[in-house]
């Protein structure tokens, strides 16, 4: 029996579950007032949690498209990867396809999920064959999804030559310790730029860096916008390449903070739309999965 395990950062189905999510995220050491602040942000958003909605939608669509049962395993909320694996073992899955809804592989992201699955299989179900479907950022069909959305944004913006700013969640550590992640990030950005109908200048930026007491990948998107303003850049197009399914972090950090920073400096600002549960993205994932089926 085949099964697909879809990795997700979290599923926040109810607003009252937010404290548990952030307690787990911060290992029980949530900064004072942080949860109250986040509750207000979620309330102001006025919709259910985006990541939860789109992840569940993608899971249902893939299940219908492939005929294979799709399980969701989370990092910081129930169902955790352990919960999903318990059900997978109980259901008698023997071939498990692991899939993350992010194209870039990092030690704290996709690799950590896959390692957890492999440990559980080794300890409890050595008969299960786990196949990784991750690392699809170099696939032409995937790149074309971003090229299409980038062209749409560039065509919509009024300025004839905007600066393109790519973003990704920052990672702890130096550029040397994160060289593999940075190489993937640069390669995907270059692939998109090289396939556009015109030549555009671009930069890589990061967001969501942790405390200054430790090293994080930089420059931050807000700092980049400040620098671009000093260089008299008049318009920017921002494209997130890690969280390709929107979540509250990108909605806040890009859709609010970065946008406000640009607009207060009188820079035209537009975001490239997220892939979310779009027909094109689901079809890409279906074809990607079927390419590995044995």
Average of per-residue pLDDT across 120-126: 97
Assess whether 93 and 188 both reside in one domain: no
**283 domain-assigned:** no
User: For the segment 134-176, what is each residue's pLDDT rounded down to a tens digit?
Assistant: 999 999 999 999 999 999 999 999 999 999 999 999 999 999 9
- Give the tokens for residue 211: 């405390």
Tell me how many domains the chain contains: 2
Of 275, 234, 268, 240, the C-alpha closest to 254 is 240
Q: Are residues 109 and 154 in the same domain?
A: no
Query: Cα–Cα distance between 14 and 171 in angstroms, integer?
Result: 28
Quick one: 64 and 8 in the same domain? yes
DSSP-derived secondary structure letter, 169? E
User: Per-residue pLDDT for 39 more than 90?
Assistant: yes
pLDDT band, residue 294 (cuts 50/70/90): low
Q: What is the pLDDT of residues 89-102, one digit of tens each?
A: 999 999 999 999 99
Residues 148 and 238 in one domain: yes
Give ∠ CA 17-18-22 in degrees, rounded to 5. Answer: 125
Residue 25: give its domain's CATH number: 3.40.50.1400
- pLDDT mean across residues, the chain: 96
For residue 17, which of 78, 71, 65 has the smallest C-alpha distance? 78
pLDDT tens digits, residue range 56-66?
Answer: 999 999 999 99
Q: Is residue 286 part of a domain?
A: no
What angle in degrees, to the nearest 10, is found between the helix axes of 34-45 and 18-25?
130
Contact 206, 244 (CB under 8 A): no
For residues 156 and 237, the answer to whether their CB atoms sit within 8 Å is: no
Select from 168, 134, 145 the least CA-distant residue to 249: 168
In a domain, 98, yes or no: yes
What 3-state DSSP class applies to 269? Answer: strand
Q: Does 234 score more than 80 pLDDT? A: yes
Q: Is residue 280 part of a domain?
A: no
Q: Is 151 within the bounds of a domain?
A: yes
Range of the domain at 72: 2-135
pLDDT of residue 214: 86
Instruction: State the DSSP H helix or E strand holding residue 70, giving kind and residue range, or none if neither.
Output: strand 69-74
- Give the whole-angstrom CA distance, residue 93 versus residue 292: 16
Could you tell me how many residues make up the chain? 294
How far apart are alpha carbons 185 and 240 in whole angstroms?
10
């Amino acid at each position: 029996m085949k099964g697909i395990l879809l990795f997700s950062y979290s599923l926040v189905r109810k607003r009252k579950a937010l404290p548990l999510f952030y307690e787990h995220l911060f290992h029980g050491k949530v900064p004072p007032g942080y949860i109250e602040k986040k509750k207000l942000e979620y309330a102001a958003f006025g919709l259910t949690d985006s990541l939860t909605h789109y992840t569940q939608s993608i899971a249902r669509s893939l299940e219908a498209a492939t005929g294979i049962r799709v399980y969701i395993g989370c990092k910081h909320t129930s169902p955790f990867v352990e919960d999903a694996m318990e059900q997978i073992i109980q259901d008698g899955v023997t071939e498990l396809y692991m899939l993350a809804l992010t194209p870039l592989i990092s030690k704290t992201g996709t690799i950590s999920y896959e390692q957890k699955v492999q440990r559980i299989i080794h300890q409890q179900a050595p008969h299960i064959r786990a196949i990784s479907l991750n690392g699809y950022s170099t696939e032409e069909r995937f790149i074309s999804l971003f090229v299409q959305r980038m062209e749409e944004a560039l065509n919509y913006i009024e300025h004839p030559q905007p600066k393109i700013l790519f973003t990704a969640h920052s990672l702890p550590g130096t550029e040397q310790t994160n060289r593999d992640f940075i190489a993937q990030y640069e390669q995907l950005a270059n692939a998109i730029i090289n396939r556009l109908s015109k030549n555009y200048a671009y930069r890589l930026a990061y967001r969501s860096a942790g405390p200054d007491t430790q090293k994080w990948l930089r420059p931050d998107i807000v700092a980049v916008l400040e620098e671009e303003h000093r260089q008299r850049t008049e318009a920017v197009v921002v494209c997130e390449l890690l969280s390709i399914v929107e979540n509250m972090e990108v909605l806040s950090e890009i859709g609010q903070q970065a946008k406000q920073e640009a607009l207060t400096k009188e820079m035209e600002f537009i975001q490239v739309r997220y892939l979310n549960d779009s027909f094109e993205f689901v079809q890409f994932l279906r074809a990607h999965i079927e390419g590995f089926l044995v």
